[in-house]
Structure 1
Amino acid sequence: MQGQILLPALALVGLTLIVLLQIPYRRFKAAFEGKITAKDFELGESNRVPEYVSLANRNYMNLLELPIVFYFACTLYYLLEAVDIKVLVLAWVYVILRLLHSLIHLSYNNVIHRLIAFALSNLVLACMWLFLVSPILLVAGV
């Protein structure tokens, strides 16, 4: 069961890479439509960059921020041999909520819906860390 904690982490990596591919796709699409040029990205993104192009980049950044704490938790659970069914369920729920967040963000982008998915994913991640405290203290001899 210990190795199964790596599967949701792998799934989140997959989601991150799919979102990463959205960035050049959307940029090239906008460039071919004549909406932007390479100059619009010299110092980040100019005001001319369409929202649908910027959203992919922003969602990608979201997937590189707090999920690093998820990856670290999964790694610790694996190394401490502390994986159980509740942790696996939480890990998969986290990934599903992050997927939902990305789907909302990259499609119809309703801020309230996105906030709900984001907030719930953070709550799930906090629970994962709460359950990790005991195994960490045990190994630390506290």
Structure 2
Amino acid sequence: MPNTVLILWPMGALAALTFAMLLAMLITRIGAVRSRQASPRDFALGDTERVPRHCRLINRNYSSLLELPVLFYVICVLLFVTRTVNDAQLMLAWAFVAFRILHSLIHVTINHILFRLLAFGAAVTVLGVMWVLFFVRLAA
């Protein structure tokens, strides 16, 4: 059984990805305003059609990193506090992070819908398995 603290590393990696997308969003928005492709008002209530596509993609990806990953952070904290981290859960946690990184890269570059869906679906599946394994172990 691995050290329980090891589950915090995939959480940190996913948080780093989220902060990287936040920084990318800031940089692209400032660039869009400076180049007069958009005005600050275009961001007031979300992204208008004037906002360049790459800005909208990064913004949507950032939002996505604040949705499903909430369940990832919760399961990791539960594993940590119950001291039920094991090798399988640790590998699954890293797999989830890898699939989310892949999803983000696809989303903000080529944005190929099928590839993005496959990466997202893989992440959802891994996360679901993490939750099931947690409760199976808890019930045992």
Q: Select 1:76's aligned residue among 75, 78, 91.
A: 78
Deviation at 1:43, TM superposition (A): 2.1
Q: How many residues align?
A: 138
Q: Select 2:116's aligned residue among 104, 114, 117.
A: 114
Deviations 1:59-81 (A, max 9, x none): 01100001000000000111111
Deviations 1:11-66 (A, max 9, x none): 10010000010111111111222211112122222111111011111001100001
Deviation at 1:136, TM superposition (A): 3.4
List structure 1 segments (4+ residues) > 4 angstroms apart after TM superposition.
none
- TM normalised by structure 1 equals 0.93
Q: Select 1:136's aligned residue among 129, 135, 138.
A: 138
Aligned positions of 1:1-142 closer than 5 A: 1-137=3-139
Do the aligned partners of 1:80 and 1:135 also contact (CA within 8 Å) in 2? no
Do the aligned partners of 1:97 and 1:118 also contact (CA within 8 Å) in 2? yes
Deviation at 1:82, TM superposition (A): 0.7
Q: What is the percentage of aligned positions where both structures have the same residue? A: 39
Unaligned segments of structure 2, at least 5 residues: none
Over aligned residue pairs, what C-alpha RMSD do you find? 1.1
Q: Report the Cα distance in structure 1 between the residues aligned to 2:66 and 2:45, rounded to whole angstroms.
A: 20
Deviation at 1:137, TM superposition (A): 3.4
- TM normalised by structure 2 equals 0.94
